[in-house]
Chains A and B, each alone.
Chain A
Amino acid sequence: MYSIDHKDLGTPAPASTGTVTLDIDGSTVTVPAGTSVMRAVALAGGHIPKLCATDSLKAFGSCRVCLVEIEGRKGFPASCTTEVAAGMKVRTQSPRIQKLRRGVVELYVSDHPLDCDTCPANGHCELQDAAAELGVEGSRYANGGASQRGVKQDASNPYFVFNPDLCIVCSRCVRACDETQGTLALTIEGRGFSSRVSASQHQPFLESECVSCGACVEACPTAALTEKLPLMLGAPTKAVSTTCGYCGVGCSLKAEVKEETVVRMVPNRAGTANKGHACVKGRFAFGYATHADRVRRPMIRKRITDPWREVSWEEAISYTASEFKRIQQKYGPNSVGGITSSRCTNEETFLVQKLVRAALGTNNVDTCARVCHSATGYGLKHTLGESAGTQAFTSVMKADVVMLIGANPTDGHPVFASQLKRRLRQGATLIVIDPRVIDLVRTPHIEAAAHLQLRPGTNVAVINALAHVVVTEGLANDAYAEERCEGDTYRKWKAFVSDARNSPEAMEAISGVPAALVRKAARMYAAGPNSAIYYGLGVTEHSQGTTMVMGIANIAMATGNLGREGVGVSPLRGQNNVQGACDMGSFPHEFSGYRHVSDAATRSLFEGAWNATLASEPGLRIPNMFEAALDGSFRALYIQGEDFVHSDPNTNHVVAALSAMECVVVQDLFLIETARYAHVFLPGSSFLEKDGTFTNAERRISRVRKVMEPLAGLADWEVTMQLAQALGYPMHYSHPSEIMDEIARLTPTFHGVTYEKLERLGSIQWPCNDAAPDGTPTMHVGAFVRGKGKFYLTEYIATSERSTSRFPLLLTTGRVLYQYNVGTQTRRTANLAWQEEDRLDIHPDDAEDRGIADGDWVGVTSRTGDMVMRAVVSRRMTPGVVYTTFHFPESGVNLVTTENSDWATNCPEYKVTAVEVVRVGQPEAWQARIRAERGAQRSPALPTACSHRDEC
């Protein structure tokens, strides 16, 4: 079932222009051309009973309940599959039609339980509705006839059950898996009367290829596929539209609640980013919000070795403020700082950086984007003029060639991946540049035309080689580049990439990618006509992360692939609000809207608005803060929603730095790893507990709406406000909308943004101002934001982290579909059913050389540290490269990663660490301990949806 407040129009809206006027039951109706008769009737306020049709899926025409009469046409066409035509006369009701519809529904009912009263779908079952409407109370065929019932239900998936007895074989689930999700995990097995819905090869859902996106459950017209949670908690009573708190796709969701409890989460079909789709995390993994581990009261302690002491908000806030004041007095104003969170709202990040700059008087503010997409901001700002992706997600539907670099959308950005797959299945060409064989390289009905399986750390070598081919083979769009870009930088760049040292043949030895394949890929990209680049952290988290971003912008400019739909450079942002956090002035060197602190005009604008004197020098970045802490010049840090100890490289170094501070304040939902080194713990609020906005990877600002009260009584923005107050810098906001008003006033790209407008338009892509009052889906149309695009020379420079005889393998990292980043949230949901530990993927050859079998414990050692985890022997890997995720703290992945970082932004080089892997007998003692702790913590949350309940 779809959302409780949705009126299903039966078939999707047509992609047409123009209208058609027809006659429906004597009334004249005008609808868009290409509309189905069924939809036209619904749009006109009428209703035709239906079972296999739903407006999220293409018409299928199988249930035969929606028959109508059309003057001049033979028989009884199905209204779902019949398009309207000018002058058409449709009759939706007649005794003859009713008789046929009854006849069909009676056949359904002949093999369907009739105990509706006890059925979970009672009241919102489409078969029940149709039978009631047509007056079918039972079936004359039923007695003793053949039946498909009596099949055991499949409750293997933690979030939903499949009860085949209630299935009417309408194929809506199968089609949803195909059309909406693109996984094709479901099928109809058997033929004729024996047709049954089946997951993969007649497997339980959990063991099948199903990725648990839930599109099938949403599409089911009966209770055959039903979410478990509403079964336990009862039906929701209202729906609140909000935005997903996981990845940078920023899906619009409807939280369906009963009183204050979220019962279901359904993707919003009006949502432009996700168009009615969601993934296993967004749709199902929200139980962490009410998990027993949530900290509900502030806590403080003098020393990190002391036990925590629960205190009142007042005490926690005033203690924190007094510590910060004390430390600043003693060590100077720049001895403190703050961290904004990409998980929090725009308004909250804005407030934190305002608190740091205005109340603490320092620019020592940074954000977790530092460790993911800071290189994107720098690279795109310098080349194109704006620190953001250039496209809307829907742009991909007009791309002819998609070059995917260092991103794994089916795991990291699943809802975008579904759209991408749809386009690829329509025939667009895919080029994958990734050290691993990611799913998209070959998945049902999709195969990459080229997979450049490069050695980690050689991105720039590959992009230069691609550019070399484009330029030397005359494939560049000189006219575009000369007109739109700085001609001298363009020509300099052309000369640079044309040099033989950048040829695919010369680069082959470095990157490991066959020159012929690079040439093929370059020709495909240049041929377009619409070529789009999508990239992820595989681009940015390198010592040459910024260089690579620039290299990407260069090749896009040189081929004229910017400034319209279907093309562009699109970073796939990791976190829900990483774009927003960057926009809001979270970086130490710039105010909101990416304006440098040294710019006097901007500074005076903020000084006027904030009534404070602001520093003109850039502040410390996160890794600099650690260095400064270790040398004693940095003593206090206010961390909103980030787990350094888990997420940042070289854990031992991070721990040493935190331990050297006098006041570490952690504001979070849970006692995260970093809280072990904190002096103050301020309970955070989840995205369900507050109002605000998130900005996704396509610059789309979407509303987050409160559906429950903050568990600890205060939303994060209120906590920051109180802290500012206690620091002697009062802030006066009664609602986050007032913070947005201030952001809009002070930020040119946000000038036109208001909550009222967001309400009206649903979402807005910045820049939104007088020049673009409804926002800007595609950037750089006509001209670059920078004025003229600028080419940068991108010399390939090998990272100092290279494989040696001691550390012969290269470790790279990523994430899986079911867990999310440091796992703070997803580890507290039933998603553990799919993955409950990090594992090391290793190629069979490397495994064999080391006597490692699938599932063995292995030790991974780098020059910085070591960890132990289980091995997965996998042909996804190329020999010489190993891979793991970092979702579980007990894995200690960042004990192994190094402090190497991007030259421009200090974004850590997570993607390349030289390691050796050896077989070991068991995990380290400390790992075993954490595992045991976690086991004890999570046992009540498993195995089913009871993890969603407060009392668990």
Chain B
Amino acid sequence: MTVTVWISRDAGALALGAEATAQKLLAAAQAAGTAIRLRRNGSRGLYWLEPLLEVECAAGRIAYGPVTAKDVPGLIDKGLLRGEAHPLRLGPIEAHPWFASQQRLTFARVGRIDPLDLDDYIAQGGFRGLRRALEIGSAATVNEVLESGLRGRGGAAFPTGIKWQTVLKQPAGQRYITCNADEGDSGTFSDRMLMEGDPFSVIEGMIIAGVAVGATRGYIYLRVEYPHAYQVMNAAISAARKAAYLGTDVCGSKHAFDIELRLGAGAYICGEETSMLESLEGRRGEIRVRPPLPAEKGLFGAPTVVNNVVTLATVPVVLAQGAAAYRDFGQAKSRGTLPLQLAGNVLRGGLIERAFGLTVRELLYDYGGGSASGRPIRAVQIGGPLGAYLPESQFDTPLEYEALSAIGAMLGHGGVVAFDDTVDMLEMAKYAMEFCAIESCGKCTPCRIGSVRGAEALGKIARGINPEGNCSLVEELCDTMLQASLCGLGGMAPYPVLSAMKHFKEDFAKRTAAS
């Protein structure tokens, strides 16, 4: 009898040795004369358990992890292929408390299916959203998305339905759907996991968007640093085209829609929507002034939907299950679920999809299990490199848009990075400016010059040069950057700096005293 074994082809799992484990398993099974069917899935998101291996047996998919190549022979000897006991045996992964407590909607299929198996996708509810959208038509689809309360998961949290509505209202003519897959925030990986683990959901979301706003062409703008996602997405697009989900007659509906995958060239700024459009047009990735909004004049001057990967992959859920069902998750103005990405100095990092409202502390400790180093967690940065640093005193803040905004922080793309008490927050502040300087497109002056001067001034503080003067200069500079920058890069780089200066005064005061 052939045993089916699942090992992830997710880039995170591969980085942890999943490929070696897989090869070893095949070799060992062959040596042992056992026929196995090795299937490759996305990651379940429990990265501290990768490489994770699941064996299909009577009791279900029994997980083992982390399984390195050298663990394989021993495991096989111990009856791995029959799901037998072993210190690495985890049982059915979906019963694992870390997993079971999640509310996986967008990530429902990730890790469960072979990402490129269209039948798997359909069997697990794929294209139900699209069929419904085709049934109810354009305006009702837009309305459904509007009603669901879905907000852009890329970071800006703009209501997706309103964006679509704006595009729909534009005068007739060419329109575009663009998928922003330039996931550049440090500590974030949900877009990547989705594209590698359930690419059809992104494609389905884009088709629905196309049907909804009357666009016939979509572009995915993918960062060049995601080669695995590139392969999977491309293969998925081909498969969808072959199966007539893409092309001149989507699902026999007479709607035309096709997708082209474009690679970025490594610029963080191209994750900003207008820069992304510039880059897609073959220009230098540089901010465009708004207005006009991309929904009015976007790609090649045509009305354009720009949505993040997670947003688009969530759309099929909204359509399949209905706006109300989705809306039931979450709280206040943050509806639905958010795939949080927990990283940094934590014991158990990974992907946690939960309804909005989980507190920072719950995330860090219930899921994260505290710091990996065993030392107290001193600070977390939420929302990427431009997000504010939260001190321990703010750990009870619920993870939702307005609550974070109220304390001067932001949820962004849902990345959470933890630091223990050895962190030097002055260095972190300086890093924020340096990051901004490296990634600045150079168009506006506060960002182009300000970030460099900010890093320099913080460096002077670190070296004990006129700390008071430089501290107030940095504050003044942050004000200039906040108020005068053209886009969120220069306009948000002050958040980590100012929050560090505010909540971790001592790290700046130290130097003041040293002078």
Asked if A331 is at the interface (CB within 8 A of a chain B CB), the reply is: no
A192 with B440, Cβ < 8 A, contacts A145-B452, A187-B284 known: yes
Would you give the 0/1 interface string for B55-66, flagging 1 where the beta carbon is closer than 8 Å to chain A?
000000000000
Would you give the 0/1 interface string for B451-470, flagging 1 where the beta carbon is closer than 8 Å to chain A?
11100110000000000000
Q: Which residues of A are found within 8 Å of B451, using beta-carbon distances?
A: 192-193
> In the bound complex, do residue B484 and residue A193 qualify as a contact, i.e. CB atoms below 8 Å apart?
no
Asked if B223 is at the interface (CB within 8 A of a chain A CB), the reply is: no
Q: Shortest 5 CB-CB distances between A and B: which pairs?
A: A195-B442, A103-B480, A192-B440, A61-B289, A107-B449
> In the bound complex, do residue B442 and residue A169 qualify as a contact, i.e. CB atoms below 8 Å apart?
yes
Asked if A104 is at the interface (CB within 8 A of a chain B CB), the reply is: yes
> In the bound complex, do residue A75 and residue B480 qualify as a contact, i.e. CB atoms below 8 Å apart?
no
Asked if B450 is at the interface (CB within 8 A of a chain A CB), the reply is: yes
Q: Which of A140, A171, A187 contacts B473 (CB 8 A)?
A: A140
Q: How far is the CA of A195 from the CA of B437 in the complex (A)?
A: 11
Q: How far is the CA of A393 from the CA of B443 in the complex (A)?
A: 34
Would you give the 0/1 interface string for A47-86, flagging 1 where the beta carbon is closer than 8 Å to chain B?
0000000000001111111010000000110100101000
> In the bound complex, do residue A103 and residue B442 qualify as a contact, i.e. CB atoms below 8 Å apart?
no
Q: Which residue of chain B has the shortest Cβ distance to A81 in the bound complex?
A: B289
A104 with B289, Cβ < 8 A, contacts A67-B483, A188-B284, A192-B451 known: no
Q: Which residues of B are found within 8 Å of A111, using beta-carbon distances?
A: 449
Q: Which residues of A are found within 8 Å of B457, using beta-carbon distances?
A: 141
Q: How far is the CA of A539 from the CA of B434 in the complex (A)?
A: 61
Residues of B in contact with A (beta carbons under 8 Å apart): 267, 284, 289, 291, 437-453, 456-457, 473, 476-477, 479-480, 483-486
Q: Which of B284, B289, B452, B486 contacts A193 (CB 8 A)?
A: B452
Instruction: Looking at the assembled complex, report how far the CB atom of B32 sits from the nearest CB atom of chain A, in whole angstroms.
Output: 55
Q: How far is the CA of A146 from the CA of B433 in the complex (A)?
A: 14
> In the bound complex, do residue B448 and residue A169 qualify as a contact, i.e. CB atoms below 8 Å apart?
yes
> In the bound complex, do residue A64 and residue B485 qualify as a contact, i.e. CB atoms below 8 Å apart?
yes
Would you give the 0/1 interface string for A99-141, flagging 1 where the beta carbon is closer than 8 Å to chain B?
1100110011011000000000000000000000000000011
Q: How far is the CA of A188 from the CA of B483 in the complex (A)?
A: 25
Residues of A in contact with B (beta carbons under 8 Å apart): 59-65, 67, 75-76, 78, 81, 83, 99-100, 103-104, 107-108, 110-111, 140-141, 144-146, 169, 171, 187-188, 190-195
Q: 9 A-B residue contacts at CB 8 Å?
A: A61-B289, A64-B486, A107-B445, A145-B452, A171-B443, A192-B437, A192-B441, A193-B437, A193-B452
> In the bound complex, do residue B484 and residue A141 qualify as a contact, i.e. CB atoms below 8 Å apart?
no
Instruction: Looking at the assembled complex, report how far the CB atom of A408 sits from the nearest CB atom of chain B, in whole angstroms.
Output: 27
Q: Which residues of B are found within 8 Å of A194, using beta-carbon distances?
A: 442
> In the bound complex, do residue B440 and residue A193 qualify as a contact, i.e. CB atoms below 8 Å apart?
yes
Q: Which residue of chain B has the shortest Cβ distance to A445 in the bound complex?
A: B282
> In the bound complex, do residue A141 and residue B479 qualify as a contact, i.e. CB atoms below 8 Å apart?
no
Q: Which residues of A are found within 8 Å of B453, using beta-carbon distances?
A: 107, 110, 141, 145
Q: How far is the CA of A188 from the CA of B267 in the complex (A)?
A: 15
> In the bound complex, do residue A100 and residue B480 qualify as a contact, i.e. CB atoms below 8 Å apart?
yes
> In the bound complex, do residue A192 and residue B456 qualify as a contact, i.e. CB atoms below 8 Å apart?
no
> In the bound complex, do residue B452 and residue A103 qualify as a contact, i.e. CB atoms below 8 Å apart?
no
Instruction: Looking at the assembled complex, report how far the CB atom of B269 sits from the nearest CB atom of chain A, in whole angstroms.
Output: 8
Q: Which residue of chain A has the shortest Cβ distance to B447 in the bound complex?
A: A192
Other 5 A-B pairs with CB < 8 A, given A81-B289, A188-B284, A195-B448:
A100-B483, A104-B484, A141-B456, A146-B456, A192-B439
Q: Which residue of chain B has the shortest Cβ distance to A109 in the bound complex?
A: B449
Q: How far is the CA of A567 from the CA of B138 in the complex (A)?
A: 40
> In the bound complex, do residue B483 and residue A192 qualify as a contact, i.e. CB atoms below 8 Å apart?
no
Q: How far is the CA of A64 from the CA of B442 in the complex (A)?
A: 13
Q: Which residues of B are found within 8 Å of A81, using beta-carbon distances?
A: 289
A62 with B452, Cβ < 8 A, contacts A104-B446, A192-B438, A193-B440 known: no
Q: Which residue of chain B has the shortest Cβ distance to A174 in the bound complex?
A: B284
> In the bound complex, do residue A61 and residue B444 qualify as a contact, i.e. CB atoms below 8 Å apart?
yes
> In the bound complex, do residue B442 and residue A108 qualify as a contact, i.e. CB atoms below 8 Å apart?
no
Q: How far is the CA of A59 from the CA of B291 in the complex (A)?
A: 11
Q: Which residues of A are found within 8 Å of B447, using beta-carbon distances?
A: 192
Q: How far is the CA of A107 from the CA of B442 in the complex (A)?
A: 13
Q: How far is the CA of A103 from the CA of B453 in the complex (A)?
A: 12
Q: With a 10 A CB-CB cut-off, give which of A111, A169, A193, A194 has the most chain B CB atoms.
A: A193
> In the bound complex, do residue B446 and residue A107 qualify as a contact, i.e. CB atoms below 8 Å apart?
yes
Q: Which residues of A are found within 8 Å of B450, using beta-carbon distances?
A: 107
Instruction: Looking at the assembled complex, report how far the CB atom of B444 sits from the nearest CB atom of chain A, in whole angstroms.
Output: 5
Q: Which of B291, B439, B445, B483 contacts A62 (CB 8 A)?
A: B445
Q: How far is the CA of A145 from the CA of B450 in the complex (A)?
A: 11
Q: Which residues of A are found within 8 Å of B437, using beta-carbon distances?
A: 192-193
Instruction: Looking at the assembled complex, report how far the CB atom of A69 sits from the nearest CB atom of chain B, in whole angstroms.
Output: 11
